[in-house]
A and B are shown apart, each in its own frame.
Chain A
């Protein structure tokens, strides 16, 4: 059966190549549209400050043993006292990311813009592919594959007897959708590649809460034991000098 399928060259000329070209062009177009719609968002002073506090506290935690006990203690109190410590987040005052999103229309607007530039062209091209090219084989890959690949490569064809190495047109669309990232990063530059998969990841991890970072940092700072490393270093320096002199 597999040997019997002969693909018309017209399919190559009118389906396979146009589909790929259209996908590339849409990707590029989407890049420019999203660039146009992107608003440069000014970061909030409080968020910046919180980020910096976390960095500084992390530094303190990592190198605590290198400063004298007195200095360490004063810093620790400065960060984590229960009145006005920098890392201390009063209970109930922690801003809820979800609520913040609704209260700040800009944020929701930004998300929507991002989504629009992603979803609209995708639905359109999918509908276009479905309408014109659905239900037939568009290409054949030059090596055999197991049955598991059938759902990936032969989307839209419900024939179990067709060899798996044939690719249906709808599957070709999906392959292009997810596989063109490398090409985009070549055309548009490394960072500019419109990366759908990554964007989806970002969407799912949206509810990030900076105050959680603060209190987590506070907890780990609370359990740091200060053990001044300098006396040991003094001995090490002695060894260094002895080696140098001797």
Chain B
């Protein structure tokens, strides 16, 4: 998760080095720390350090970390020659390293030699069957080949051992949603909520999934999770506000003609509509009429 202050710092540094200021190394360190994907910038500025022997030697031992970072960025940008050069330097320095061997596998992947990459990864796994990075690369490889069911299989195998890895759960949840397997996705998002209960995004997506599944019980639960998203974000999440409105409409339709007791008496939906109105007034007054029309249609 990238916190807003850190992102602001990252953007400030990026701006600074784009305009020829110093702080390239700090920028690269921050990119690494936050694990953000800004491959083009990393490639450009990382290379400028690597090509300058004076700057490079100033880094000391961190030089090799930079080589690794630039190599990965280069693979991401399909500058395979640069990646190969970086790898060569690393191989020379660390001939027996598994970390470099992983990079070799990734280079094969970037070239599109899937079979070779697979071979490289499986030999790595033979040496160390608990190598999380290699397991994840395998999933990524299956996914980039379009073999979604294969990716699911690998991920499930991975999660069988590393079941506390929430990033893997999130990936699995996203894959399931893309395949419209909502029940499985719901399970993944429950797992994520258990893992990190204070992240509103998980509550939001879980609510979306429940809403999509439909049925009275799921809809009511979805509404509650939209509410918890609102609670966690302080009412600033537009999607959750819309979600509340849609859920209440759907619930009202399902419970039409039933006893009054079944219906939940709550002001939440009207409050949500009002909050939406206020948001639109503040941010995009030009589109307010669209919102009012929609809300009217929903008959809240």
Chain A: residues with CB nearer than 8 A to chain B?
42-43, 45, 48-49, 52-53, 55-56, 59-60, 62-64, 66-68, 71, 230-231, 233-234, 236-238, 240-245
Contacts and interface: CB of A to CB of B under 8 A. Distances in A.
Given A48-B130, A48-B161, A49-B161, A240 B190 contact: no
B45 to A, nearest CB: 29
Contacts of B160: 49
B194 A63 contact: yes
Contacts of B230: 237, 240-241
Nearest to B127: A42
18 contacts: A42-B130, A49-B163, A52-B162, A52-B164, A64-B194, A66-B228, A67-B193, A230-B224, A236-B227, A236-B231, A237-B231, A237-B235, A238-B227, A240-B234, A241-B271, A241-B275, A245-B275, A245-B278
Contacts of B120: none
Contact of A45 (B161, B221, B223, B268): B161
Contacts of A244: 234-235, 275, 278
Give chain B's interface secondary structure class: helix
A231 to B, nearest CB: 7
Nearest to A47: B130
A55 B164 contact: yes
A53 B163 contact: yes
A45 B135 CA distance: 14
Contact of B195 (A59, A71, A234): A59
A233 B228 contact: yes
Interface in B178-193: 187, 190-191, 193
B190 A233 contact: no
**8 closest residue pairs by CB, A with B:** A237-B227, A230-B224, A55-B164, A241-B271, A234-B227, A237-B230, A63-B197, A244-B235
A234 B162 contact: no
Nearest to B225: A230
Contacts of A62: 194, 197
Given A52-B161, A240-B231, A67 B190 contact: yes
Nearest to A231: B224
Interface in B226-246: 227-228, 230-231, 234-235
B267 interface: yes
Contacts of B268: 234, 237-238, 241
Contacts of B163: 49, 52-53, 56
Interface residues of B, number: 34
B43 to A, nearest CB: 31
Contacts of B231: 233, 236-237, 240
Contact of A230 (B129, B187, B221, B234): B221
Contact of B227 (A60, A64, A233, A245): A233
A231 B227 CA distance: 9
A238 B164 CA distance: 33
Nearest to A43: B130
Given A43-B130, A230-B227, A233-B231, A238 B266 contact: yes
Contacts of A237: 227-228, 230-231, 235, 268
A76 to B, nearest CB: 12
Given A49-B163, A56-B195, A67-B194, 12 more contacts: A48-B130, A56-B191, A56-B194, A67-B190, A230-B227, A237-B268, A238-B266, A238-B267, A240-B230, A241-B230, A241-B274, A244-B275
B272 interface: yes
B128 interface: yes
A63 B221 CA distance: 16
B271 A245 contact: yes
Nearest to A67: B190
Nearest to A60: B194
Contacts of B187: 71
A238 B190 contact: no
A169 B117 CA distance: 63
Contacts of B274: 241, 245
A180 to B, nearest CB: 25
| Residue of A59, A64, A231 with highest tally of chain B CB at under 10 A | A59
Interface in B245-300: 266-268, 271-272, 274-275, 278
B162 to A, nearest CB: 6
A149 to B, nearest CB: 44
A59 B266 CA distance: 31
B20 to A, nearest CB: 36
Interface string B47-66: 00000000000000000000
A45 B164 contact: no
A52 B195 CA distance: 12
B194 A234 contact: no
A233 B195 contact: no
B224 A233 contact: yes
Contacts of A56: 163-164, 191, 194-195
Contacts of A45: 129-130, 161
Given A66-B194, A71-B190, A245-B278, A238 B130 contact: no
